[in-house]
Chains A and B, each alone.
Chain A
Amino acid sequence: MGFVFPALVLIGVFLIFPALWTIYLGLTDFRLTGLAAADPQIVGVDNYTAALGDERFHTSLWLTVQFVLGSAIIGQAGLGFSIAWALRNRTGPVKRVVEGLVLLAWILPSSVVAFLWIALLDRDQGTLNALLHMPGFAWLLDHPMLSIIVFNTWRGTAFSMMLYGAALENVPPSHLETARLAGASTFQQLRDVVFPRIRGHMLTNLLLISLWTFNDFTSFQITAGGPEGRSEILPVYIYNVALSGGRLGFGAAVSFLVLLINLVLALVYLRLLRGRRGAEA
């Protein structure tokens, strides 16, 4: 007990206390400025009922679901697996160059990356418009969600690619060859040999990237949630109401709701993982 005490203190100070403080703030009308900043009043569950009834919160939640499904599950996991599968038997420069480029997108600082993407998607001087010969097309204004979904896919594919690359090494070549000898197509090989073998890796990966993407704030640096809130995913929404709008108490209440959603997501994945273990025993 004595040995873990310092660690428990650190966890208490930096994790548990802020979490409890958020719950407390969520029950007050605490504001960034004005009277309520000096003397916040307990308002009970008013913030929660307000949030749950807020059209802007509903839109934001729906946008976040699109963001997670589009950029994490379809984008990062799908693309990451495809690259890992395509490169699995390759060696040499092609593999190194592809892996290097994908990794680069992951390790660059987010502010640098955001600037690069604004430069790419810019209406007048953007590289993409120059490439497509369609000057004046406002990607970030006309397709803000699509822009940040593609951006986040590009940004985070490296993790899935590396994880699936390692997982695919666990698939014995003789199993794939047995399927090939039976006449199985690529799809059938994936369904019957590869996916059952790497199911644990897939679920773990999906859990991690779903949570990361759910809480990702990098897109703020590209669209700031706009235009007109059309790319305002939950982390951006919280920032906008709590810090830009100054309603800290309300922001804390929404944060707590996001925490609950994350918990539910994690529980669902863990449930699936445990179900697999149970089935194998």
Chain B
Amino acid sequence: MISLHGLTKEFPGGVKAVDALDLEIADGEFFALLGPSGCGKTTLLRTIAGLETPTSGRITIGNNDVTGLPPGRRDVAMVFQDYALFPHMDVTANIAYPLRIKKVPRAEREAKAAQTASRLSLSELLARRPGQLSGGQQQRVALARAIACHPTVFLFDEPLSNLDARMRLEARTFLKRLQRELAVTTVFVTHDQSEALAMADRIAVMSAGRIMQVGTPSEVFQRPSSTFVASFIGSTPMNLLPGVVKDGTLRVAGAVLPLPEGVAGGEEVVYGLRPEYMDLSVTAREDAFAGHVSVVENLGTSFLVTLEVTCDSGEHLVQAVVPEDAEPAPGGAAWAVPRHPRALVYRDGELVTP
């Protein structure tokens, strides 16, 4: 288990990359640190590794307080974004390097390297140099080097970002299977929300050095606790529309919607609904957003339709995902009908829907 207590990392110049952060990561968990660039996720990972010294706060791994320990004595292995393979060593020597530092005898460490390599289908490549390997092979060598020394924690910094799009999907499945088999606590950093949703057991969404929400992918996807998380998670951005409670109904962008739980009269709120939970109607309805089809984007098996909705509070864009063969023609009138149970209401940026 990794526990962080009141962890703060302030860089010279006063930038707080990590700000009084508390977090617990369970044994064997595959944990994602997700956030936009500059949110402090990589600094947090490097602080766990011991490559950065925290300004204040404590880090424990298992039962050991590792806050003051150098990286080499924390029993963690890290895979860097650029893989950091040593170009002058062959694959065997690269994989066996941490064992060599730990003074494991040559024969033993080479056997261990060969065994780890065969698990990652690298057996054919043992005598090659990193320069003679493809990106995906280099990544597997970096993983093998991390695995071979049996650490208590794996740390991955943007593990998939140097792979091309197709390889990335394969590597995603591969990594998740490998982590499940090894059952070693793993923390990885990513800025790609789909990567985090697909791979992680739990996700921490970060912004400006703080954790905005921690939860399983389903929790974070279905119930983002703030408008920041809501707009960050999801391949198609969530519709976030200003609304006001009036006469026992919720008025949002010209639509009159039933009053959700947790809100009182006269309040100004933000109404959030994913485009996937929005249906399109060609006939007028009062509980729908009336507008003109402005853009239709092909997503393969579905279409993302953007409506321009003009109402008292100005012009808004409302997006809906419709199945294939049901897409409207651009320019025509259409009504976006929200699936009410899926709607989330935010007040001052915080979720109020129970």
- Kindly state whether residue B166 has any CB partner on chain A within 8 Å: no
Q: Are A180 and B70 neighbours in the complex by a CB distance under 8 Å?
A: yes
Instruction: Indicate which residue in B70, B78, B87, B102 contacts A178 across the interface (CB closer than 8 Å).
Output: B78
For the complex, what is the distance from the CA of A177 to the CA of B81, rounded to whole Å?
12
Docked Cα-Cα span, A178 to B142, in Å, equals 10
Give CA–CA (A27, B238) in the complex, Å: 92
B326 near A: Cβ within 8 Å? no
CB of A111 closer than 8 Å to a CB of B: no
A130 CB-CB contact with B under 8 Å: no
Residue of B nearest to A91 (CB): B12
Instruction: Looking at the assembled complex, report how far the CB atom of A73 sits from the nearest CB atom of chain B, in whole angstroms.
Output: 23
A182 touches B97 (CB 8 A): yes
CB-nearest residue of chain A to B155 = A181
In the complex, chain B residues whose CB is within 8 Å of the CB of A179: 97, 101
Q: Which of B239-267 contact A (CB under 8 A)?
A: none
Q: Assuming A175-B86, A177-B71, A196-B86, is B81 touching A182 (CB within 8 A)?
A: no
Check B84 against A172 for contact (C-beta < 8 Å): yes
A50 CA to B77 CA, complexed, in Å: 67
Q: Is the CB of B72 within 8 A of A184?
A: yes
Q: Could you mark each residue 72-104 of chain B with 1 if its beta carbon is under 8 Å from any beta carbon of chain A, else 0?
A: 110011101110101110000000011001100
Contact (Cβ within 8 A) B84 A183: no
List, in ascending order, chain A residues with CB within 8 A of B77's CB.
Answer: 181
B82 touches A192 (CB 8 A): no
* B82 pairs with A172, CB closer than 8 A: yes
Is the CB of B205 closer than 8 A to any CB of chain A?
Answer: no
The complex places the Cα of A175 from the Cα of B71 at a distance, in Å, of 14
Is the beta-carbon distance between B86 and A182 smaller than 8 angstroms? Answer: no
Contact B78 A183 (CB under 8 A): no
A174 & B82 in contact (Cβ 8 Å cutoff)? yes
Determine the residue in chain A with the shortest Cβ distance to B88.
A196
Which residues of B come within 8 Å of A, CB atoms? 49-51, 70-73, 76-78, 80-82, 84, 86-88, 97-98, 101-102, 145, 149
Asked if B102 and A183 make an inter-chain contact with CB atoms under 8 angstroms apart, the answer reads yes
Q: What 0/1 pattern do residues 116 to 130 of A give for CB contact below 8 A with B?
A: 000000000000000
Q: A180–B76 Cα gap in the complex (Å)?
A: 11
Does A41 make an interface contact (CB < 8 A)? Answer: no
- Please classify how large the interface on chain A is, using the bins under 10, 10 to 19, 20 to 34, 35 or more: 10 to 19
**166-191 of chain A: CB within 8 A of chain B:** 172, 174-175, 177-184, 188
Tell me, in angstroms, the Cα distance from A233 to B86 when the chains sit together.
43
Shortest beta-carbon distance from A220 to chain B in Å: 43
Contact indicator B80/A182 (Cβ below 8 Å): no
Tell me if A183 and B98 are in contact (CB < 8 A): yes
* Complex-state Cα separation, A136 to B97, whole angstroms: 56
Extra inter-chain contacts (12) besides given A172-B84, A182-B101, A193-B86, CB under 8 Å: A177-B49, A177-B84, A178-B84, A179-B97, A179-B101, A181-B49, A181-B76, A181-B98, A184-B101, A188-B101, A192-B97, A197-B88
Q: Specify the chain B residue showing the minimal Cβ separation from A189.
A: B101
The CA of A183 and the CA of B102, in the complex, are separated in Å by: 8
Q: Are the CB atoms of B97 and A181 closer together than 8 Å?
A: no
A20 to B178, CA, bound (A): 72
Closest residue on chain A to residue B151 by CB atoms = A181
Which residues of A are found within 8 Å of B76, using beta-carbon distances? Answer: 181
User: B149: shortest Cβ distance to chain A, in Å?
Assistant: 7
CB distance from A201 to the nearest CB of B (A): 14
User: Mask for A181-216, Cβ within 8 A of B = 1, else 0?
Assistant: 111100010001100110000000000000000000
Q: List the B side residues contacting A182 at CB < 8 Å.
A: 72, 97-98, 101-102, 149
**Top 6 closest pairs, chain A to chain B, by CB:** A183-B72, A182-B98, A174-B84, A174-B80, A196-B88, A178-B84
In the complex, what residue of chain B is closest to A182 when comparing beta carbons?
B98
- What are 20 A-B residue pairs whose CB atoms fall within 8 Å in the complex? A174-B82, A175-B84, A175-B86, A177-B51, A177-B78, A177-B84, A178-B84, A178-B145, A180-B72, A181-B98, A182-B72, A182-B97, A182-B98, A182-B101, A182-B149, A183-B72, A184-B72, A188-B101, A193-B86, A197-B87
Query: A90-119 toward B: CB 8 Å interface, digit per residue (1/0)?
Result: 000000000000000000000000000000
Q: Find chain B residues with CB under 8 A from A196 CB.
A: 86-88
Chain A residues whose C-beta falls within 8 Å of the C-beta of B72 in the assembled complex: 180-184
**Chain A hits for B82, CB < 8 A:** 172, 174
Closest beta carbon of chain A to B91's beta carbon, Å: 15
Shortest beta-carbon distance from A164 to chain B in Å: 18
Interface centre among A182, A188, A280 (most CB of B within 10 A): A182
Q: Looking at the assembled complex, report how far the CB atom of B118 sits from the nearest CB atom of chain A, in whole angstroms.
A: 22
- How distant is A150 from chain B, measured CB to nearest CB, in Å? 35
User: Is B149 within 8 A of A174, CB to CB?
Assistant: no
Q: Which residues of B have CB within 8 Å of A184?
A: 72, 101
